[in-house]
Amino acid sequence: MAGERSRELEVLFRVAQAVHAAVRQASTSPHRADVVAMGADGSPTEEVDRVAEAQVLATLKEERVDWDILSEEAGLIERGGGPLLVIDPIDGSHNAIRGLPFSTVSLALGRTDLGGIEIGVVRDLARGTTYWATRGDGAFRDGHRLRTRSWDVRSELFFLNLGRHATSRVVGLAARARRVRSLGCASLEMLAVAEGAADAYVFENDTPNRNLRVTDIAAAYRILVEAGGTTTDVSGGSLEHFPLALGQRTSVFAWGDAKFGERAHPEGYL
């Protein structure tokens, strides 16, 4: 099993690298923001998303792996009934289109639900940094082990989703927090918690269909857990059994230090 997992991880590294190269080339195209289709969940698919997804499929074919695929853009693609590869070809696609350096390709391999994710790989498409984790083996960034940070209220920093659809709970937290950031890239913001750059990440919009899909968080979920962090919905409900499917969305509350989690739930830091 260890040998098989190592090979799977190497395949995911090569997929991530290939997508990075393809997106870098596509970013110079004047058509990168063109809407070319509607995604499986009804969201518009821009040209840069299409390029990234096509590169994932091409690389998997070259690698001769028969994994099924769940993609934000194409939906479920059955390719042989093996493990399910959950992909977000471009997480933070609006950032990528506008030239902002906050986007990733997110790859998670597992079965059934978030708790069944065995491997997570996320590549930062601006910095070329690669984050990864395998179940029970820890989390890493370019070979360096990741650990969450100890929470100190005097220096706390939260990543939050903000804007017109953010709930009053999130807006209220922004007003109380010592420092706040908002990148528009869920995987990078969860990974900021995993590597100790932030204390927590909170995403909650005013209607359920504006919350996050499993494709947004699957890889970062495994990496954060292996780094010592925790992820729930904003009510404290476990996401372990959140299904690997596009039909549901969820709010997210991710944190690093158990002391912070104890304060937030059930006492209501949020």
Confidence of residue 1 (pLDDT cuts 50, 70, 90): low
The DSSP result for 170-207, as a single string, is HHHHHHHSSEEE--S-HHHHHHHHHTTS-SEEEE-BSS
Q: Per-residue pLDDT for 252 more than 50?
A: yes
**Cis peptide bond prior to 89, omega within 30° of 0:** no
Q: What amino acid is encoded at 95 in this protein?
A: N
- Token readout for 243 is 């299904």
Q: Quote the CA–CA distance of 169 and 147 in Å, as a whole number.
A: 28
Note the pLDDT of residue 33. Answer: 46
Condensed to tens digits (0 to 9), the pLDDT of residues 162-199 reads: 999 999 999 999 998 899 999 999 999 999 999 999 99
Q: Which residue has the tokens 């597992």?
A: 110
Q: Per-residue pLDDT for 215 more than 90?
A: yes
Pairing of strands 144-145, 157-160: unpaired
Q: Quote the CA–CA distance of 244 and 84 in Å, as a whole number.
A: 8
User: Could you tell me what percent of the chain has a pLDDT over 70?
Assistant: 90
- Classified by CATH at the fold level, domain 153-264 comes out as D-Maltodextrin-Binding Protein; domain 2 (3.40.190)
Start-end ranges of CATH 3.30.540.10 in the chain? 2-145
User: Could you tell me what percent of the chain has a pLDDT over 90?
Assistant: 76
Of 162-166, 231-235, 259-263, the one with minimum mean pLDDT is: 259-263
Mean pLDDT (the chain, rounded): 89
Residue 220 CB neighbour total at 10 angstroms: 34
Report DSSP state, residue 110.
Answer: E
CA atoms in the 13 A half-sphere facing the CB of 197: 11
Q: Per-residue pLDDT for 31 more than 50?
A: no
Q: Quote the CA–CA distance of 112 and 115 in Å, as a whole number.
A: 8
Note the pLDDT of residue 259. Answer: 87
Rg (CA), the chain: 17
Start-end ranges of CATH 3.40.190.80 in the chain? 153-264
Q: Per-residue pLDDT for 40 more than 70?
A: no
Condensed to tens digits (0 to 9), the pLDDT of residues 59-101 reads: 999 999 999 999 987 899 998 878 999 999 999 988 988 889 9
> Which one of 3.40.50.300, 3.40.630.30, 3.90.1170.50, 3.30.540.10 gives the CATH number of domain 2-145?
3.30.540.10
